[in-house]
Structure 1
Amino acid sequence: MSTSTKVSQPEYISVRFGSLLPWPFHFGAGVGIFIAIGVGAEHPWTALTFAVCSLFVFTSSEGTDIDLVNRRFREYTSIFFFKTGKWVAFDAIEKIYVNRNKMRQNVTPTRTGFTSSFTFDEFSAFLKFNEYEVVQLIKDKNKDVVMKRSRIWSEQMNIPLYDNAGDE
């Protein structure tokens, strides 16, 4: 007697792309929390202002929601855990694919004026819905991180995963 278990497909997938604000804002928000704690007893309104501004920075994010039951998706911006974004209907999800991107960063110090150029690989995973709808799911400098997360999403949505990045 053999029994097989079928993995059920989730009804809703939320893919958080990342923080909406860069790391210096997060650093400043962390300092703001310490300031709020330090002045909270004598200046509660100042402490509340620093705390609310810090929460704004820490809760701001962006990503993609995929509703598999109603066959729609949205790219959202989330502030204070409230998501905004327009829902877009899709016919079918075709595939997930991973690409390699050559990135170049130029650095010019003000003291010397000489420009240094750094080149590195960055890997991105995309979800293709219809012929024209493509959404970026994740990007990272580490291909294994991108492939691992893409494999999970591919299995959840029961769609193929293509590695266009090739071997490193």
Structure 2
Amino acid sequence: MTTVSMTVNGRQVSADVEDRTLLVDYLRNAISLTGTHVGCDTSQCGACVVHVDGRAVKSCTMLAVQAAGSSVTTIEGLATGDELHPVQAAFREHHGLQCGFCTPGMIMTAVDMIRRHGGQLDEATVRHELEGNICRCTGYHNIVKAILDAAAKMQMPAAAE
């Protein structure tokens, strides 16, 4: 067992886990944040996307020990108080979800995408960057609309790579 400590959604957390524990399992089982979903366990579906030190990561392919000392943001950490994050609000407004299983990963991917591209997103870019996220319900049209709307409303400058 290894004690793994990190900052999750602005809060310092620590838990004893086996060295082979995936970050998604650490989040869900060790610290009880179940908004990050386990879909495929092979990094194909994107349901498990979280941010590690500000970058989107598929948490089913990262060990918890690899994230030790990092700052992790999950879907639970996006909203502030009772106010949804602009991307969450856009998904709701544009009906960018149905069953909701892929939604946390889609939203976390979108937030990272908007951070990197700022308001300079077009439909082709959004569709290309969503290739690692699978939704079996919506057909992506409303998801893409939601991301484009959120990017336009947020008007963030693109982050330096």
Q: TM-score, normalised by structure 2?
A: 0.26
- Bigger Rg, structure 1 or 2: 1
Query: Which protein is richer in strand relative to its size?
Result: 1
Which of the two has greater helix per residue? 2
